[in-house]
Amino acid sequence: MNIFKSLFLITALNFSYAANAQEWVPHQSPQKINDLVDNGSELIMATDYGLVVMNKTTLEKTTFTNRNSKLANNRISSITEAPNGDIYLSTDQTIGKFDGSDVNDVVIPAALTTNVNTLQFFDVEVASNGDLWIGSSEGIFHKKGQNWSKYGKTELGEFFFKVWDIEIDSKGDVFAGTQVGVHKFENNSWSHISKDDSLQGYRNAELFFSKSGDLFFGGDLTKTARYDGTNWEVYNHGSGADRMQFVEDKDSNVYLCVKGMIFQLNNSTWNTYTDIQTLAMDDIIVNEDSYYYIDTQNQRWFCNNIYLSVSDKGTIRSTSISSNNTIEANNIKGIHKGRNGKLFFRMGRTSTGSIAVVDPKGNWSSLELPDSLTRINGIYDILFLADDDIWLTSYEGLHHYDGKKWSSNELVLGFQSKLATNSLGKIYVLASKRIYIVENGNVSEFTPTNSPLSDLEVTSGLGIDANDNLWIASYDWSGNSKIQKVDTDGEWTTFDHTNHPSIDQPAGDFHFDKNGNTWISAKVGAIKFNGENFTNPIKENISNLENYKASSIESDSEGRMYFAHQYGVTTLLDSVWGELLIDDVPHKKTSANTNIKFDDAGTLWWASNFSGVYAYTTETAASIFSSIERTTDFSIYPNPSAGILYFKNIDADEASIKIYTTLGKLVYSNDKLNPNSPIQLNQSPGIYLVVIKNSNSTFTQKLILK
């Protein structure tokens, strides 16, 4: 186990989600500190998932997100403390004011913005006179009293691109860090003060005032610079990165944190700085996810990814900035369900090279991976059979953990290789034009030369059904695709695109539903095989659906199908389609890859390589109505209905009505229904379940909206 990670390992974060909550519950990582405010007793940290307020003495923390506050967006890009103690913050799309318990929006007049859909806020600062200054993708917004103004290309130059950082000096002059260096606002006009020194912000620009009043600039690929108010001193020390910070200790030494390394300025030279704290972080560095801060007590706070340490005169304390889980990065590559019921989340490049794990009780932990793995390439797949029987595939080959140590087989290689096992414990490893079989420590293989295995360019899908039949998918870039089945007697059956046009670039894990159908993701939609015919229900109904992707497939005990896409899940039951969209996921990243998996409790887990992890408790119609007495006398009409409902045989002047989707989501409720008057529903076409209660009885009926 990584030594430093052992200081942080969260072994029992019992995050309970409401069993009956019909909503998506986020399980996201703060990922990193973007900015912070130190009020003396607390660090108030802007992260990629909320505002984390941490007591500096106890390291106890509270996280504010859009679920427990009025925070408009969970990714907070900057935070600042005004001279009067007010706390302001910027998210990607909004400006807010934090009062210690909630966040209230600061509204910028819409007429000042060019495009609200593309506008991004990067920094917010408050001058001593109370003026508000905001750096953004459209320039600089300025609030003076109740009046707003905006400075863009006219004031900052035609090559202006973004204002990443703003700093204000003791005189009230405003400095802006952009991709073309530094601009200064004084006497109501802007000047480009770094123009002659050709400073360039590569992917960011960071400004910092030292106690002496000097201004430091970072962000250039080959330079770092200091401005004394008249002249620039340029250092041949590149600082071009997405993130960097300058900080100063009580002895007026200035430090630069960039790409996970700390540099100290000594006689015009930036030298690498190390101590026991930074050395302890060496094993968990993520280049762009580090943050270094020194407080007025000279305590040094160093955060890499979610792991934060504080050093006070050589004494180091450690914690995590995450409150609820062990997810280090919201770049989730895949979900695997182990035989013990635990879910394993493969993350992209992480700081410790681990896999986040949640058990059936909601407790989070981490699975440590072999130190020999190249972290940049990550894990392709995991197969968890028992605590002493874990399999992984990676760029380095096939790996196995026997409960004591990891072993590797570098000969079993395959880019993005997948794993599967049958009921007898035989392990299958998908590789390019090859299937490895591991049995009792021996490795054999199917290839196009020793078996009917397809020789198409991409070997793309793998699965084993309840009868131990092996399923394999493949395709090439010329339109050829195949699905192959190998039964327990070794007989091969091949289905191709020519004879079955619905087989179009099949890829991913095969899924087998309760009705005996075989499913796999396709180039568009999902391929279904009922034992005789191949179809693609999504493609066949594409004009009626909001999304045609199905990057991962699951089904529940009622036979309802779930197809993962970049904004949530499409559902299908008895020819009725539905959508479970995640409100927090922006509809921008159209190339996002997503995965879904049911846990043993029936909760559906959704994970994306852009948006992290969400969970949805899919309460079935059967569970909702299992305790409700039914009657045949009551009726609603017309049924099917266009939206207007009338009622018959309800012996009451007043009743209550609730209407649910077949997934159990409440879409209409009225506790004072007059059965003698119709109601108007404004819901999408589909099947719904109506529950009406009066003082004596409860009535239920299926409703079809057309």
pLDDT digits (tens, 9 = 90+) for 289-341: 899 999 999 999 999 999 999 999 889 999 999 988 999 999 999 999 999 99
Rounded distance, CA 462 to CA 473, Å? 6
pTM (predicted TM-score): 0.84
Residues 500-513: what's their mean pLDDT?
A: 98
Q: Are 20 and 619 in contact (CB under 8 A)?
A: yes
| 4/405: higher pLDDT | 405
Structure tokens at 437: 């079989």
Question: Which amino acid, 459?
Answer: T
Q: Are 605 and 670 in contact (CB under 8 A)?
A: no
Q: Are 217 and 196 in contact (CB under 8 A)?
A: no
- Residue range 10-58, pLDDT digits in tens: 333 333 333 334 589 999 999 999 999 999 999 999 999 999 999 999 9
Residue 544 falls in which region: left (phi positive, over 0), alpha (psi -120 to 50) or beta: alpha
Q: Are 564 and 548 in contact (CB under 8 A)?
A: no
Instruction: Indicate the pairing of strand 534-535 with strand 526-529.
Output: antiparallel
- Residue range 653-681, pLDDT digits in tens: 678 888 887 666 788 988 888 888 899 99
**pLDDT score recorded for residue 620:** 52
Query: From residue 19, how far is each of 23, 24, 569 by CA, in Å?
Result: 10, 12, 19
Cβ-Cβ contacts under 8 Å for 78 (sequence gap 6 or more):
34, 35, 46, 89, 90, 121, 122, 123, 124
Q: Are 360 and 93 in contact (CB under 8 A)?
A: no
Domains of the chain: 32-241 (2.130.10.10), 242-323 (no CATH), 629-705 (2.60.40.10)
In this structure, the dihedral spanned by the alpha carbons of residues 231, 232, 233 and 239, taken in order and rounded to 10 degrees, is: 170
Q: Are 595 and 335 in contact (CB under 8 A)?
A: yes
Residue 538 in 3-state DSSP?
helix
- Residue range 526-583, pLDDT digits in tens: 999 999 999 999 999 999 888 899 999 999 988 999 999 999 999 999 888 988 999 8
Q: Are 473 and 504 in contact (CB under 8 A)?
A: no
